[in-house]
């Protein structure tokens, strides 16, 4: 089943509010879940719900492609779980940690469930910047609203630069079909962008126009893809 793009909202300037050292393990767990999603053929998003005492109550990853349901975002699933299993007070004091800033749908679910703070490893603006760099068109049917546009006054924190880079790699892996070992093995072996033509058609992205210059510079694509258009592959579940 083809992946349906998980577009993130544009939220203006990144808001790097307080993210404590004690919170980093939760964000790292989100990235682990995002990596699991990529291995399964889904988009790289993972989230955990943590109570006021720091206990992880629930966690989930993106399941859009494997279920065929475009609403199967982990942030949405955690909001649904919290509404069923937690009291209003417990929800208000809980924190959602996530690999990527909430989309408008997930922010709305978060607000309706009455959940507390959101902490994200990478921002919506970063995700949109990566897409622009890679020549990926924006296909979201939603208006690009930030979390606080959807839920005014909600406390948010992020991004975390060092973790955002890990999310960026996962985003690239999901779009190119490259594995983590490919990226490490072929690091710094790409060719100069000027040696290749401009945007071309790539079959692996459902005929969308991609910026092939980026594939030339990518650390893993030059060997895995052979620098040939139409060689781009979608992630496939590991058997």
- Number of compact structural domains in the chain: 1
Task: Please tell me the predicted confidence (pLDDT) of residue 137.
Answer: 87
Residue 13 falls within a domain, yes or no? no
- CATH assignment of the domain containing 111: 3.40.140.10
pLDDT tens for 139-175 read: 888 888 999 999 999 999 999 999 999 999 999 999 9
pLDDT tens for 95-140 read: 999 999 999 999 999 999 999 999 999 999 999 999 999 999 888 8
Task: Please tell me the predicted confidence (pLDDT) of residue 139.
Answer: 84
Do residues 162 and 43 make contact, with C-beta atoms less than 8 angstroms apart? no
Task: Please tell me the predicted confidence (pLDDT) of residue 225.
Answer: 32
Q: Output the CA–CA distances (angstroms, integers) from residue 136 to 107, 145, 153, in the order listed.
A: 24, 20, 32
Residue 77 falls within a domain, yes or no? yes
Residue 229 falls within a domain, yes or no? no
Residue 161 falls within a domain, yes or no? yes
Looking at the DSSP bridge assignments, the partners of residue 59 are 48
Residue 223 falls within a domain, yes or no? no
Least confident of 62-71, 173-182, 210-219: 210-219
State the residue range of the domain holding 122. Answer: 21-175
Residue listed under structure tokens 């100069």: 192
């Amino acid at each position: 089943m083809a992946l349906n793009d998980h577009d993130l909202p544009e939220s203006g300037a990144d808001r790097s509010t307080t993210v404590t050292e004690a919170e980093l393990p939760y964000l790292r767990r989100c990235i682990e879940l995002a990596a699991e999603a990529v291995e399964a053929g889904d988009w790289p998003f993972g989230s955990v719900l943590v109570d006021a005492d720091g206990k992880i109550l629930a966690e989930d990853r993106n399941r859009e492609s494997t279920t065929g349901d475009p609403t199967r975002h982990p942030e949405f699933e955690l909001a649904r779980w919290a509404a069923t299993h937690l009291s209003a007070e417990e929800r208000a004091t809980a924190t959602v940690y996530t690999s990527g800033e909430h989309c408008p749908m997930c922010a709305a679910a978060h607000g309706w469930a009455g959940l507390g703070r959101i902490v994200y490893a990478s921002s919506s603006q970063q995700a949109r910047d990566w897409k622009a760099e890679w020549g990926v068109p924006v296909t979201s049917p939603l208006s690009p609203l930030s979390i606080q546009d959807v839920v005014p006054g909600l406390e948010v924190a992020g991004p975390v630069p060092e973790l955002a880079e890990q999310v960026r790699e996962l985003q690239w892996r999901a779009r190119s079909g490259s594995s983590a070992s490919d990226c490490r093995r072929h690091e710094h072996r790409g060719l100069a962008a000027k040696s290749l033509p401009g945007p071309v058609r790539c079959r692996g992205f459902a005929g969308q126009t991609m910026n092939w210059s980026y594939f030339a510079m990518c650390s893993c694509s030059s060997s895995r893809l052979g620098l040939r258009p139409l060689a781009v592959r979608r992630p496939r579940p590991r058997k």
